[in-house]
Structure 1
C-alpha cells in the first residue's frame, strides 16, 4: 500500500524552471521548498532513529496540515506521489484529502486493504489519466461502475482487485479496454464466472494473471489460449478447474509459473501441458495426480520449484525425478514414498529445500541426501528417521533449517548435528529429547528458532539457552519449567515469540522475569499459575500483538484493562 514511486522521473533544468514561471509535473522535487510553509525539525522523529531528510520534513508537514490544501495538481508529479504515499501509509487519506489529488498525474495508487475505498474514489483515480501505471484496490467496496471509470487510464500496466466481492463479469468488460495491462489479479472474486474471463481475450500483453480462489471459472480458461505472453498463472484453490481446462493452456509456451493447488486436475490434465518446457515453478499440491504425471513433468527441464505435497505420488515412476537437474525446491510431503524414491534424488545437487513430511522415509534413505551440499531446508517431521540416519547429514554444512518433530531421534542422535553450525531453525518436538540432548547442540550458536514443544526439558536444561543469544523464537511447552528456569530466558533480548504453555508451575514471577524482553510480539503462558496480579509486569512489552493465557487465573476484564492502559498494539488475546 502506498508503495514508493519507483520509476525514474525526468528532471527539469533549474534555469529552465525559473524561466518558465510554472511547475511541470516532471519537475525536480526540491521546488517543493518554494511552495510549502516552513516546518521545524520536530515535525517528525525521522526514520529508524535517523535525522529526517528535508523532503521527509516537508511531506510530514503537508500531512499534518492536509486540511489547508485543496489541490496538489501544480506540484511536480514525484512530490504529489510522495505526499499521497505518506497519507496512505499513515492512514490519513480521507474522502476530503483525496480531493486534492485530482489531475496530479500519479503513477502508482496502492490502496489495497485501505479502509473506505469505494466507487466515489475512482473518479480521482480516473483523473490521473494516461499517467496511471499501477492500481491496487484490493479488499475495497469498488463495484463494476467504479471499474468503468478506468477507461481514461489506458496506460495502466498493473491492476489488483483481490477480494472485491462487488465486482462481477460485467465489470471485467471494462478491463478489456486496457490493452497495456501486463499484471492482473482477482483473488477470491466469487462473482466472476467463466463468461467473465472472455473479457481477457484482448489483453494480449498480459504476463501475470492471478485468479486464486475464483470458484466459478470452469470452462473459462479457453479464453486465455491466445495470451501468448502469459508467464504466470495462479488458479490455486479453484476446485472447479478440471482436466478439460488444461487443454487451452497447452499453447501458452511462455508459461514459467503455474500454480494449481487443490484443483481437480489429474494425470490426464497434466498430459496436456507436455509442451510447456519453460515452466520453472509448478504447484500441484492437493491435486489428485499420481506418479504417472512425473513422465510429463520430467520434460520441464527448467523446473526450479515443484510442489507435489498431498498428491498420490509413490515410488513407482519416481525415477523421473533424476532428470530434473535444476530443481531447488521439492515438496513431497504426505505422499506414499519410501527410501526407494530418494535414490533418484542423489543427482539433484542443486536442491536447497526438501520436504518429506509424513513420508515413509527411514535412516537408510537419508544416505541418498549426503551429496546434496546446497541443501538449506530439510523437513523430516513424522517420518521413520532415527538417530542413526542423522549421521548421513553431517556433511550438509549449508543446512539452515531442519524439522525432526515426531521422529525417533534421541539425545544421542543430536550429537550428529553438532557440527552443522549453519543451522538457524531446529524443531525438536520429540518426546525422547531431554536436557542431555540440549547439551549436545550448544555449539549451534546461530540458532534463531528453537521448538522444544514436546521435549522433556527441565530447569537444568534451560541453562543451555545462554548459548543461543540470537534466538528470535522459542517454544518450550509441556516440560517441567519453573520460574527458576525462566531466569535463563530473561536475557534473550532478540526474542519476538515465546511459548511456555503447559508448564503448570510457572507463576507471576515468570512475567516479572520476562518483562525486559521488549521485542516480544507473541507470548503464550497458558495452563500455568499466572494470575491477574501478574499482568502488571507485561506493561513494558509495547510491541506485544498476541497474548495467550488460557487456563490461567486471569480474567478477560483485567486483560482488557491492560490492553487499554499499556498495550495498544495487542490484537489477539485469549481468553477474550
Structure 2
C-alpha cells in the first residue's frame, strides 16, 4: 500500500498542500506532480516536503537542468541569503555524490559566492552543454572542465582563467567540442598570451560555432597575425566577435569560406571592412550592430547574394535604402535604435515592400514615416513586427492592419494613444496571436477589444 506524506509549507511547492492536496501518495507525487516542476524548484523546495527528499531528488531530477539563481538577495545576508546558501550547498553536494551524473545540460549564472561552480567537481560525465557566464569573478578550475569528455557546447563568457590564461585546457576537449564562447577579460594581457590563446582555439577543429568578446574592456585589438590562426577552423560555420577591433583583419576573415553566419558587434567596422565582408558570398546571416559603416559600407554589403538575416542596430541609417534594394532575399531584418534615428524623410523613404520574403521586422525607435508604413503593409509574408517606441496614429495602425500574415505585434511605448478607430483597425488583423502594449495607455475601447480577442481573461 502506498504511503502518504503531509507536506509542509514553503516556496514553489505551495501548490501541493493547498486545499485537497493536503495528502498525496508517493505514486502521485513522483509520477504525476514532480516531473512537471522546474528542476531548480525541485532543488530549492523539495527539502520542504518530507525527510525522504534525498531519494526523491535523485529520482525526479530530469535529464537536463537549467540552474539559474537570479535571486536579488544572493549576495545579501539574512534569511534569504542563508536559504539560498543551503540550496546551493545541497545542489553541490548532490553533484559530488554522483546523483546528477545523467545531466545533459547545466547553466550557472549570477552565482552565489562562487559556490555553485564546485558542482563541477562531481561526476557529470554525461554533460553535453555547460554555460558558466560569470562576470568579474574567477572561472571554474580547468581540471573540472577537462574531465567532461562528452561536452559539446561550452560557454565561459566573461571567465578569467589565471591558471590557464591561454585556454590550453580546451585542447583536452577537442574531440567533442563543437561550440565555444570565451572572453578576453584582461586588457593588459601580453601579445604572446593572446596569440597562444588563438593558436589553441584554432586546434579545436570540430568547433562549428565560435564566439569571442572583450568582456568589460572598452575596445580590444587583434592584429592580422593573431587572427590568422582562426583560418585553420575549416569547419567553422558561425563566428561572433564583440568589442574587438576587427576592421584591419577582415581581409583574413573574408577568406573563411565555410562561414554562413558572421556577427561583428561594436568592432569598429568601416566601409573598407564592409568591402571585405561583401566578398563572403556564403554568408546567410550578418550582424554589424554598433558600427558606423556609412552609406558606402551599405552599398558594399548590398551585394551579398545569399543573405537572409541582417541585424544592423544603432547604426548610421543613411545607406539603409541600398541594403533594402540589394538584399531582397532577406527573411529577418532588425534595424532598431537606442535613440530616435530619424528615418523619417518623406523625400527619401525606405521601400520595404521589395523585401517579399521578409517574415520578421524590428524597426523599434527608428522614426518611420507614413510612406514607409505603406510599404510595410505590402509585406505579405511578415509575421512578426516590432514598432515599439514609434509614433503611431490611426493612420499607421490602418496600414499595419493590412498585413495578411501578421501573428505578433509590439506597439509598446508608442507616443500616441490608440483611439476607437485604431482599435477597430487592430480588430481586423484576424491572424494576430500576440500583442504587446507595455507602458501603453488603454482606454475602454481598447479593453473591449482585448477581451473580445482573448488578450484579457
Query: TM class, shorter-chain normalised?
Result: 0.7 to 0.9
**1:258 aligned to 2:154?**
yes
Residue 423 of structure 1 corresponds to which residue in structure 2? Answer: 330
Q: 1:388: how far off?
A: 1.6
Structure-to-structure mapping, 1:447-462, within 5 angstroms:
447-462=358-373
**1:386 aligned to 2:298?**
no
Task: Give the gaps of 5 or more residues in structure 1.
Answer: 1-69, 72-90, 114-134, 166-187, 545-566, 569-576
Equivalent residues of 1:141, 1:164 under 8 A apart: no
Structure 2 counterpart of 1:272, from 169, 172, 192: 169
Matches of 2:442 and 2:59 in 1, distance apart? 59
Alpha-carbon distance change, 396 to 511 in structure 1, aligned in 2, over 3 angstroms: same
Structure 1 counterpart of 2:231, from 314, 322, 339: 322
Q: For each residue in 1:253-294, what CA deviation from the matched residue of structure 2 results, as whole angstroms up to 9, or x when unmatched?
A: 443222223333356162333332132111225855864422
Residue 383 of structure 2 corresponds to which residue in structure 1? Answer: 472
The answer to which structure, 1 or 2, has the higher relative contact order (CA under 8 A, 6+ apart) is 2
Residue 304 of structure 2 corresponds to which residue in structure 1? Answer: 396
Q: 1:202: how far off?
A: 4.6
Residue 532 of structure 1 corresponds to which residue in structure 2? Answer: 443
Residue 499 of structure 1 corresponds to which residue in structure 2? Answer: 411
Matches of 1:149 and 1:232 in 2, distance apart? 25
Structure 1 counterpart of 2:275, from 335, 354, 367: 367
Structure 2 counterpart of 1:281, from 176, 179, 183: 179
Residue 223 of structure 1 corresponds to which residue in structure 2? Answer: 121
Alpha-carbon distance change, 539 to 274 in structure 1, aligned in 2, over 3 angstroms: closer
Structure 1 counterpart of 2:255, from 336, 347, 354: 347
Residue 158 of structure 1 corresponds to which residue in structure 2? Answer: 63
Alpha-carbon distance change, 478 to 202 in structure 1, aligned in 2, over 3 angstroms: closer
Matches of 1:413 and 1:458 in 2, distance apart? 14
Q: 1:505: how far off?
A: 7.7
Q: 1:204: how far off?
A: 10
Equivalent residues of 1:449, 1:474 under 8 A apart: yes
Equivalent residues of 2:349, 2:369 under 8 A apart: no
Equivalent residues of 2:221, 2:245 under 8 A apart: yes
Equivalent residues of 1:308, 1:332 under 8 A apart: yes
Q: 1:383: how far off?
A: 0.2
**1:522 aligned to 2:432?**
no
Of 358-367 and 495-504, the range deviating more from structure 2: 495-504
**1:298 aligned to 2:202?**
yes
Q: Relative to total residues, which structure has the larger strand share, 1 or 2?
A: 2
Normalization by structure 2: what TM-score? 0.73
Alpha-carbon distance change, 485 to 232 in structure 1, aligned in 2, over 3 angstroms: closer
Equivalent residues of 2:309, 2:330 under 8 A apart: yes
Equivalent residues of 1:322, 1:345 under 8 A apart: yes
**1:200 aligned to 2:75?**
no
Equivalent residues of 1:261, 1:287 under 8 A apart: no
Q: 1:209: how far off?
A: 5.2
What secondary structure, in the 3-state scheme, does the structure 2 residue paired with 1:488 have?
helix
Residue 433 of structure 1 corresponds to which residue in structure 2? Answer: 343
Alpha-carbon distance change, 380 to 98 in structure 1, aligned in 2, over 3 angstroms: farther
Structure-to-structure mapping, 1:82-97, within 5 angstroms:
96=21
Residue 191 of structure 1 corresponds to which residue in structure 2? Answer: 87
Task: Give the gaps of 5 or more residues in structure 2.
Answer: 3-15, 71-83
Matches of 1:242 and 1:198 in 2, distance apart? 21
Residue 20 of structure 1 corresponds to which residue in structure 2? Answer: none
Matches of 2:403 and 2:117 in 1, distance apart? 55
Q: For each residue in 1:35-84, what CA deviation from the matched residue of structure 2 results, as whole angstroms up to 9, or x when unmatched?
A: xxxxxxxxxxxxxxxxxxxxxxxxxxxxxxxxxxx99xxxxxxxxxxxxx
Structure-to-structure mapping, 1:2-21, within 5 angstroms:
none
**1:235 aligned to 2:132?**
yes
Q: 1:506: how far off?
A: 5.6
Q: 1:477: how far off?
A: 5.4
Q: 1:365: how far off?
A: 0.7
Equivalent residues of 1:198, 1:220 under 8 A apart: no
Structure 1 counterpart of 2:394, from 480, 483, 486: 483
Residue 102 of structure 1 corresponds to which residue in structure 2? Answer: 27
Matches of 1:456 and 1:347 in 2, distance apart? 37
Residue 409 of structure 1 corresponds to which residue in structure 2? Answer: 317
Equivalent residues of 1:194, 1:220 under 8 A apart: no
Q: For each residue in 1:496-525, what CA deviation from the matched residue of structure 2 results, as whole angstroms up to 9, or x when unmatched?
A: 123264444864432232123352423338
Matches of 1:349 and 1:94 in 2, distance apart? 63
